[in-house]
Amino acid sequence: MSNGILTPPVGPEDHVQGSDHAPVTLVEYGDFECPHCGRAHAVVQQLQRELGDALRFVFRNFPLREAHPHAEHAAEAAESVASRGGDNAFWEMHDLMFENQEALDDEDLAAYAEASGVNPAPVREDLAAGAMAGRVHRDFRSGVRSGVNGTPTFFVNGQRYDGNWADAARFAADLLALARTTAAR
């Protein structure tokens, strides 16, 4: 079976932080309302500090709509912001939502969109029309095909990371070791 292989690989549709030439690519499938993803946000920031240029980070949407009533709109709002303000605005929005997980209703999302530098009116319209639902669902389906087994699920250079992501020191050590062996090749 295809056991935890990132499908499809990172491509031009993805939201990316870091260099395409980085030896380590970390992909997160996450849900903006999931408290574990909120904790993972701090872990990812620590990894980015420790690995620096050696790490490329990608976020894909995996909203668990049954568990988290605001997760779908939060994901759609992030995509709406990205489509209007580009990846910089997307990452602003991404950070604001993870830092304010207790306040993710549509009004909150519009305020975060504005704080990310995007006019909130069309973002509201996108949410009302479900304009970004297809984009979010494409991420979700790719997560299913890749073997996402909960949120967050991480993939390191295309392979699901089955270690304990919450152990940030260990996670960083694993990635640093991989960066060294990959760069040496």
Partner 1 sequence: MLVFYPADWSPVCGDQIGVYNEMKAEFDEYRAQLLGISVDGAWCHRAFGEARHIHFPLLADFEPKGDVSRRYGAYREKDGFSERALVVIDAEGVVQWSYLSPVGVNPGADGIVAALDALTPEQRGERAAASQGVTGHE
Minimum CB distance to partner 1 smaller for 2 or for 181: 2
Contacts with partner 1, 7-36, as mask; x by CB under 8 A: x-----------------------x--xxx
CA angle 91, 101, 43 (to 5 degrees): 60
152 vs 32, 34, 114, 160, 179, CA distance in Å?
A: 10, 8, 27, 11, 22
In angstroms, rounded to a whole number, what is the distance separating the alpha carbons of residues 34 and 41? Answer: 11
C-beta of 164 vs 181, nearer to partner 1: 164
The number of residues that bind partner 1 (CB under 8 A) is 29
The residue from 8, 52, 86, 150 that contacts partner 1 (CB under 8 A) is: 150
Contact status: 141 vs partner 1 (CB under 8 A)? yes
Q: Convert residues 73-112 into a mask of x (bound to partner 1 by CB under 8 A) and - (unbound).
A: ----------------------------------------
Q: Strands of 15-17's sheet, edge to edge?
A: 15-17, 55-61, 24-30, 153-156, 159-160
Instruction: Report the chain's C-alpha Rg in angstroms.
Output: 16
Can you list the positions of beta strands (E) in 14-170?
A: 15-17, 24-30, 55-61, 153-156, 159-160
Please pick, from the candidates 32, 140, 165, 171, the single residue that binds partner 1 as defined by CB under 8 A. Answer: 140
Nearer to partner 1, 68 or 94 (CB): 68
Rounded to a whole number of angstroms, the minimum distance from the CB of residue 160 to partner 1 is 8
